[in-house]
Amino acid sequence: MKFSIFQASRQGGRKYNQDRLAYSYSRDALLMVVADGMGGHFHGEIASQIVVQFLVDNFQKQATPALRDPFRFLLDAIGQAHEAIGDYVLAHGLKDHPRTTCIACVVQGRNAYWAHVGDTRLYLFRNGKLVMRTRDHSLVQQLFERGQISEDQMTTHPDRNKIYNCLGGPIPPDIELSRKTPLREGDTLLLCSDGLWSLLSVSEIASILDTYPITAAVPELLDHAELRGGEEGDNLSAIGMRWGDESEVLNPRSISTATMPLDSFTVELDAFDMTQGKHGEMEVSEADIERAIAEIQAAIQKYSK
């Protein structure tokens, strides 16, 4: 496989960053995942951390070096991550369920497979044009599909943050799968939270992705969205992947997996460390953080294969 990839996450105007994102690849498969935590500081990011870390851990166990069935992997891993969040709720007697949205994508054998829950999105761009994107599991998406609002009104509607499908709640998630999608040379996949896509039009996203190498395009997208969001802006996160061979002149981080050993993996996953808020205040102690890390690992191990 040959591809270029870059990920980044920013706090925006919020007190804490509850987004989590990661990618991991073997010689023959690539996993990308973005989760947008909900439910208040500490618990929201624990939900998103469990989902992202669970998928990465299980990918490393099952991609040897390819997944047997990418769609089955996505269904099982996302469903079990939901159960792991539920175990965390029961173990701590939480009254409120920490929740998270999620988009996860596997690229294998020149094909992309993805699954999502909520309004964290995946876009596929080809030759500077949108080919497809995921359908939000949100109230405004339903209103748009009924013809009650326009697509432009979706980003400013007062109910735009109302999600009816997520991970971690008392109701089992409805995990929506894509179809098996062949990739062409130069295709770009963008996975992102609503803090990014709600502030940029499709044409703006397409133009930026078509203008820059992926390592510059993702920061440029985040710059534009963060500026527009201002002091009230949401957390914003994105993973961009361009399929094929970007020259090293344009992108020194262009990746070829051809020479990777069968049993090796590369992972880009931020450590769980959200002790400081926007103004440096410490609402959670170091002991709380260490305990949370151990509990996340325990929840993941229970369901990991």
- The angle subtended at Cα 254 by Cα 251 and Cα 255, nearest 5°, is 170
Structure-block tokens of residue 23 = 């990618």
- The angle subtended at Cα 238 by Cα 47 and Cα 173, nearest 5°, is 40
- Four-CA torsion 270, 233, 128, 176, nearest 10 degrees: 70
SS3 of residue 304 by DSSP: coil
Range of the domain at 222: 2-303
For the chain, the domain total comes to 1
Given this model, what pLDDT does residue 47 score?
A: 93
pLDDT tier, 189 (very low <50, low <70, confident <90, very high otherwise): very high
Quickly list H helices, the chain.
Answer: 43-62, 70-92, 139-145, 151-154, 194-197, 202-211, 214-229, 286-303
For the segment 271-276, the average pLDDT, to the nearest whole number, is: 56
For the segment 133-139, the average pLDDT, to the nearest whole number, is: 95
- Looking at residue 122, which CATH number applies to its domain? 3.60.40.10
Q: Do residues 112 and 188 lie in contact, with contact meaning Cβ atoms separated by under 8 Å? A: no
Q: Report yes or no on whether pTM surpasses 0.85.
A: yes
Neighbours of 60 (CB within 10 A): 17
SS3 of residue 89 by DSSP: helix
Tell me the pLDDT tens digit for each residue of 22-79: 999 999 999 999 999 997 656 789 999 999 999 999 999 999 999 999 999 999 999 9
Smallest Cα–Cα separation from 9: which of 230, 268, 254, 285? 268
Tell me the pLDDT tens digit for each residue of 83-128: 999 998 888 888 888 999 999 999 999 999 999 999 999 999 999 9
